[in-house]
Structure 1
Amino acid sequence: MALRTVGRRRSRGGLLPERDLSIFDPMVLGINEFGAAVRVLLIYRNILIGGEPGGGKSSLLNLIVAYAAVCLDCTLVLLDGKQVELGQWEACAQAFVGPDIDGALQVLQRLQIVMDNRYRWLRWHLRRKIKPGDSFRPIVLAIDEIAYYSATVLDKAKREMFSALLRDLVARGRAIGIIVAAATQRPSSDIIPTSLRDLFAWRASFRTTNDSSSDIVLGHGWANQGWTANAISPTNQGAALLIAEGGVPGLIKVAWLDDGECAAIAAYAAELRGLLEEAGPRPKLTVVAA
């Protein structure tokens, strides 16, 4: 499925979209079995992506990051255990961490502080969640290869701290605009505990090697009802089962961006974000957003 180029208009210093994209609007992930566009709303939600290597999970994660990058009303924070899956978007991100558990922990701890500060702000203003036009922007936290941080690092205490911090952000961050999009190529219970998986409103499972791995992503019992990512053909890359909170899995074909397209969108988004910074400073992760 190809993506069409967004219409643009000329502006001082560069190009801007005809209509600003917003993280508060639904984004297109791909098409369903009938060829209709599949749209998901990420704000106030999170998405978990799993599957075997080569199934297409990184394509979906890059698609989400690409959309977030050109939404000027959100901030990008990227954790990438392999460095290269999300590396093209580094210039668009406020923070980028590679295979560095200490750096990842520092970023998650800062996000936790931001989360608490934002909830304090909402309490002061007698509100329960953020909305468009607030003085702070939603934050998209994209993590590729959770397993590196939660299972591969030798220091057990740091692995457990990473999992605890991530669970807290997924559990409490929705209302204040922290959107977690996390992917792993080896879905197992030690990497994605049930208590963490069930907090993700959206879950996408690309092909898995067995029914158990499919259920780890989608939820227990779906394989027995005939919904298993193990049934997806190895040659059908980009196909996944997508389930929404309280819903039923559905087969989708995820839109695909090649390296050249990702690089072009990333450069365009970095230019747009540069123009945005010229218009005025924005709060950093370590600043109380008010």
Structure 2
Amino acid sequence: MARRGQNFTPDYHTRRQHQREDHLWKADMQAMQQADKIRYGIADKVHAERERGRKAVEDTAKTIDREAAESVKRILSTPITQWTGGARGTVTVNYRGTPMIRLDDGRVSRIDGCDPEVFEQMKRDYRKLPSLTHNPKSAKFFSKCGLTIDETYPDTVSGEYGPVDRKITVKDVPSLVSADITGAGLELTFKHRPGDSAKAWLSKLDVLRAGFKASGIDAHNLEIRETSDGAVKLVFNDKDPFDGLSQITHVFDADKGRSLLGITSDGEPAWITWNGSSGMVIGGVPGSGKTASMLPVFAAMAGQADLFVFDGKSGFDLDPLRHIAVVYDRSGDIEAPLGTLRDLESLRVSRTEQMYQSTGISNFWNIPLAQRKSAGLKPVFIVLDEVQTWLDTSGMSKEEKATSSEIQRLVRTLIQKGRSAGIVTILTTQKPDATSIPTVIRDNAALKLCFRVSTPEQATTVIGTQAPGAPSPTSIPMSSKGRAVMETEGKGITMLQAGYVSPATLEGQLSEFAKAHPIHHTEPTPVTKPTPAKPTPPKRTTTDTTTDDAARKEAVRKKAIEMGLLPADDPATAENKPPTTDGYNPDAASDL
């Protein structure tokens, strides 16, 4: 047992012990309190973490929901493009009018009876044609060309997140309804659509040409036409319709009153029917071949018609006709045809009267050919080549304009009334406009022939307004000399190729003909200038006027006999035959 020190104080040690114990107790209590605090705070923290996690989940869900709503609305509000139109069912491809191929959704099948060689040729020449019946490809092609008809309208769609506004665009694609391969190449017809027209397609012509060229189809000469029912027709003109067609021999059929000019694209003869007509208008730009094409037509009339030829450009293109023409003039003078036109107008009146008195027939072309030959009656053709020389008054003097005005009046009268007398007036021009051939003259001329021209207005000047889809002279290549459009008998307006005979060949032929069959040539009738009126002219009685009129008609009749246009008087009775006041001789008329 230890010995306590002398300074040991029990109270102090007890107190220290107590303080130590008290301190330990307090520390223990504090630790216990802290432990209790921690223990009791765990639940709160767990609850708080749970609340925070729940809130985070809710926020995340809201964010996802919001983003989903925005995505759905963005998707639903995206403009929609819908396609309509396009090919519907099978499209038949005709080769020169005969069905050969069927196209169906881009697939090609051969029709029974199709010539295998033609089938293979069509596949080679137009290998991309079937794609026009495959709607996705067709839609892409015409959309790039800007030829779809687009219509946009608003729409509202109800979704999980409420109504959404959007725009719908409907693109109407052209519908191919028929394909034809003619002598001139490919022709595609697209169904009429409301709001569509050939004019709209014409505005995209360059793009169309480029698009078809990229597809392997020659679209250099592509034309846009509109059919009578409003459909749009693409005419490619990628072939020469006259390849492989034989040349023709020019003939003048006096019985039927017609001339063979050339051949149509179908290989049929192209006739100019003079019978029942008294006027013809021929137009074409320089170098189109109009004069060279008509020269053999006139040459074929040798000995069967009376020709009066006036060349307004003072050239030699019609020179071979000098051998067979009653009158041939290439002076180009403003007054050159005036006297002849006056004579022919008088002849028109006297010939009609004599024909009717002797035959009871008022129309030259209705008189049987044999009867016409026995009476020495022939059709009369007056050709005014480059007629603008006499009808276009631009730059003319006052006197020349007066002459031009009378020529125009005589030409108009002959075209309007010359049919019954068998007189045909033919006007040609390389300057087809209203100043060269006035509209009133063109409209009265039943026959119209148009070679290549540069503008639709020039074509209208020559042939008038044509039906939609008719061949156009503006589409004729400059290299195709003698190519023209004309209204042919039973076929309407058609494309033709005129036959060609070299002027040198015609010169030799007509020269030999003239030697074997001499033709009575005359100089153009000189134009008499009106004499100035005397200051005090004597008054004429009715008897004087009648006598002068009868004398004038008798002078015209004698001139016509001299020119070979009327049969000559019987020498046995001519001396005792008094002039008649009606302008014809009854005895001579009986010979008709």
TM-score normalised to structure 1 length: 0.83
Q: Quick check: 1:203–1:244 contact (8 Å CA) kept in 2?
A: no
**Structure 1 residues 265 and 286, CA gap change in structure 2 (3 angstroms):** closer
2: CA distance, partners of 1:74 / 1:52 = 28
2:452 paired residue number? 207
1:198 paired residue number? 443
Is 1:88–2:320 an aligned residue pair? yes
Give 3-state SS (helix, strand or coil) of 2:453's partner.
coil
Q: Quick check: 1:30–1:252 contact (8 Å CA) kept in 2?
A: yes
1:219-274 deviations in whole A, cap 9, x for unaligned? 1245x545421111111111101125897310000001112122122213313431
Q: Within 5 Å, which residues of 2 pair with 1:191-270?
A: 191-222=436-467, 225-244=469-488, 248-270=492-514
**Structure 1 residues 110 and 37, CA gap change in structure 2 (3 angstroms):** same
- Give unpaired runs (5+ residues) of structure 1: 7-20
1:109 paired residue number? 342
TM-score normalised to structure 2 length: 0.42
User: Which one of the candidate residues 356, 361, 384 is aligned to 1:143?
Assistant: 384
Q: How many residue pairs align between the two structures? A: 269
1:23-71 deviations in whole A, cap 9, x for unaligned? 33432211111222212322332322101001111023212211112xx
2: CA distance, partners of 1:194 / 1:65 = 26
Greater relative contact order, per chain length (Cα 8 Å cut-off, separation 6+):
1
2: CA distance, partners of 1:246 / 1:230 = 23
1: CA distance, partners of 2:479 / 2:469 = 24
Q: Which protein has the bigger helix share?
A: 2
Give 3-state SS (helix, strand or coil) of 1:76's partner.
strand
Give 3-state SS (helix, strand or coil) of 1:173's partner.
helix
Q: Within 5 Å, which residues of 2 pair with 1:1-290?
A: 2-4=247-249, 22-25=253-256, 26-45=258-277, 46-69=279-302, 72-83=303-314, 84-98=316-330, 99-125=332-358, 126-130=360-364, 131=367, 132=369, 133-134=371-372, 135=375, 136-151=377-392, 154=396, 155-222=400-467, 225-244=469-488, 248-274=492-518, 283-285=561-563, 290=589
Q: What's the CA shift for 1:157? A: 1.2
Off by >3 Å, runs of 4+ in structure 1? 1-6, 224-227, 244-247, 284-290
**Structure 1 residues 5 and 106, CA gap change in structure 2 (3 angstroms):** closer
**Structure 1 residues 150 and 214, CA gap change in structure 2 (3 angstroms):** same
Moved more, 36-45 or 238-247: 238-247
2:310 is matched by which residue type in structure 1? Answer: L
**Structure 1 residues 199 and 176, CA gap change in structure 2 (3 angstroms):** same
1:52 is matched by which residue type in structure 2? Answer: V
| RMSD of aligned residue pairs (Cα, Å) | 2.7
Q: What's the CA shift for 1:196? A: 0.8
2: CA distance, partners of 1:219 / 1:137 = 30
Give 3-state SS (helix, strand or coil) of 1:274's partner.
coil
1: CA distance, partners of 2:477 / 2:300 = 28
1: CA distance, partners of 2:565 / 2:255 = 23
1:237 is matched by which residue type in structure 2? Answer: K
Give 3-state SS (helix, strand or coil) of 1:236's partner.
coil
Larger Rg: 2
